[in-house]
Copies of this chain bind each other. A is one copy, B any other.
């Protein structure tokens, strides 16, 4: 049996070096969506390859249709027969840093500063999303290897460069190279804690599809004086369609939309109720006071377990200052549907388009554009060895049970892993709600980094135990 204590002591002793390595990674302005930063992305990826090689991994860059993908693979001595094969996933690309003038310090020159709560944090673009988080696993592995000489599982590390941009690049890579990765589970470190003191494992996420509808009426923009009355107005038609999507209870009225959606088990609802989610405070933070979703569901359930239809953008006609008396030839809305386990993205898209077409008056047409997404919602089984290991490790590290939480958002790579590699993902992360990922002054608490490394060490330890029992 392997105790993590020796490794934890080693982590303490080596923490300044772990920090310095994270700082090195943070200094690459690896903004993948900006072509000017392509060399920086390449350098960040190359740096990761060097790190993995230094830890004894076979590592290199793989070509994708997007940024290069860092792939490192580790084989325990003797080939690790019978040991699980773990895929660790993270991403080295970061969000653009602008607006730059809102940053207190250079986004690509990390510094340690006090947060509002008086504790230290690393301030830099990517500090929490995802460089700090991915490094918790790398540093845990490094320290474990330093102490024990080997990891208790086969390991593939996959660090992509397109997470903030076009996630279809990695999806395509996985589809085309699935056979190379006969893995048993994916570990992903890109999520948050439940709160500052309580860890979380994300066990359900919503999927997402995007669709765009354009309603056309008159063949050209018309003068509303000459033609107002007899002429169709596509904005009015679009408004009517959008207004019909929800009934007065906030339920989506598109026939077939809820096909396959199952209510959450009573035990899970009980568990969620036990979280005492502060809906009022949560909504208060964004300037709202009451949950506006489906009647009869808590805010948490509306976010974690119920699908939605949202209009993300709308435009048509005159949008400049003042007034222009035009009857527009067309109007467009961009929608996304958040999906839960059991819903078929393709069927939802079809049902929506049918719903629109059935509501068109004479002389109006609708055209649609697939805005992508097409990820399904999922809920992972909670009785897997990975969840069990993470639960125990988090309890040991934080002294509190991890919340088995949902997320209303989508992590497309989870869907790609499920589809192409046929595996579930374990989502454990150490970010905090106020980390300002995607915003100026992004940070990652020193505590997040430190405890993150320790937690992964404890998770690794359990596989070492499993190996020897």
Cβ < 8 Å to B, chain A residues 154-209: 206, 208
A289 contacts B228, CB within 8 Å?
no
**Set of chain B residues within 8 Å of A324, measured between Cβ atoms:** 312-313, 334
Knowing A338-B225, A362-B289, the reply to whether A310 touches B240 (Cβ < 8 A) is no
A312→B317 contact, CB < 8 A = yes
Interface presence of A235 (CB below 8 A): yes
The interface stretch among A77-85, A301-309, A441-449 is: A301-309
Bound state CA distance, A240 and B244, in angstroms? 8
Report the minimal beta-carbon distance from A264 to chain B, rounded to whole angstroms: 14
On chain B, the residues within 8 Å of A244 by CB distance are 243
CA distance A436 to B214 in the complex (A): 28
Q: Is A416 an interface residue (CB 8 A)?
A: no
Cross-chain contact B318 with A313 (CB below 8 angstroms): yes
Which residues of chain B are within 8 angstroms of A229 by Cβ–Cβ distance? Answer: 291, 293-294, 297, 299, 302-303, 306, 308, 338, 408
Q: Which residues of B are found within 8 Å of A317, using beta-carbon distances?
A: 311-314, 334
Within 8 A of B (CB), among A92-133: none
- With both beta carbons as reference points, the residue of chain B lying nearest to A325 in the complex is identified as B336
Among A2-10, A139-147, A280-288, the stretch that binds chain B is A280-288
Q: Which residue of B lies closest to A228 (CB)?
A: B308
Partner of A312, one of B310, B315, B323, B363: B323
What B residues does A224 contact at CB under 8 A? Answer: 308, 310, 312, 336, 338
Contacts of A371 in B (CB 8 A): 322-323
Establish whether residues B302 and A312, one from each chain, have CB atoms under 8 Å apart when the complex forms. Answer: no
Q: A331: nearest residue on chain B (CB-CB)? A: B314
| A319-B315, A363-B288 as given contacts; A303 in contact with B227, CB under 8 Å | yes
- In the complex, how many angstroms separate the beta carbon of A256 from the nearest chain B beta carbon? 20
Residues from 216 to 259 in A contacting B, C-beta threshold 8 Å: 217-220, 222-233, 235-236, 238-240, 242-246
Is A54's CB within 8 Å of the partner chain B?
Answer: no
How far is A292 from B327 in the complex, measured between Cα atoms in Å?
13
Q: Are B408 and A227 in touch, CB under 8 angstroms?
A: yes
Within the complex, which residue of B218, B302, B336 is in contact with A288, where a contact is CB–CB below 8 Å?
A: B218
**Distance to closest chain B CB from A226 (angstroms):** 6
Cα of A302 to Cα of B326 in the assembled complex, Å: 17
- Taken residue by residue from 345 to 372, chain A's Cβ proximity to chain B (1 for < 8 Å, 0 otherwise) reads as 0000000000000000111000000011
Chain B residues whose CB sits within 8 angstroms of the CB of A308 once the complex forms: 224, 228-229
Q: How far is the CA of A34 from the CA of B395 in the complex (A)?
A: 71
Q: In the complex the two chains form, what is the Cα distance from A233 to B282 in whole Å?
A: 16
A36 within 8 Å of B (CB atoms): no
A133-153 interface (Cβ within 8 A of B): none
Docked pose: A342 CA to B395 CA in angstroms: 75
Asked if A316 is at the interface (CB within 8 A of a chain B CB), the reply is yes
Say yes or no for A328: interface residue by CB 8 A criterion: yes
Chain B min CB distance to A152 (Å): 35
At the interface, yes or no: A15 with Cβ under 8 Å from chain B? no
Residues from chain B with a CB closer than 8 A to the CB of A361 are 292
Find out whether the CB atom of A227 lies under 8 angstroms from the CB atom of B312. Answer: no
- Contact of A232 with B288 at beta-carbon distance under 8 Å, contacts A225-B407, A323-B336 already known: yes
Contact of A1 with B by CB under 8 A: no
**Which residues of B lie under 8 Å from residue A408 when comparing CB positions?**
225-229
Q: Is A46 an interface residue (CB 8 A)?
A: no
How many angstroms between the C-alpha atoms of A244 and B242 in the bound complex? Answer: 12
Q: Which of B246, B312, B372, B409 contacts A318 (CB 8 A)?
A: B312
A267 to B233, CA, bound (A): 31
The residues of B that contact A232 with a CB separation of less than 8 Å are: 288, 292
Q: Are A326 and B312 in contact (CB under 8 A)?
A: yes
Contacts of A380 in B (CB 8 A): none
> Are A302 and B236 closer than 8 Å at their CB atoms?
no
User: Considering only CB atoms, which chain B residue lies closest to A242 in the complex?
Assistant: B239
Q: Which residues of B contact A246 (CB under 8 A)?
A: 236
Contact B323 A236 (CB under 8 A): no
With A225-B410, A228-B303, A228-B308 as known contacts, state yes or no: A363 contacts B287, CB within 8 Å: yes
A-B contact pairs, 17 of them (CB 8 A): A210-B323, A225-B410, A227-B286, A230-B283, A235-B314, A239-B311, A242-B243, A290-B362, A292-B362, A312-B327, A313-B316, A313-B317, A313-B324, A313-B326, A314-B317, A323-B336, A323-B372
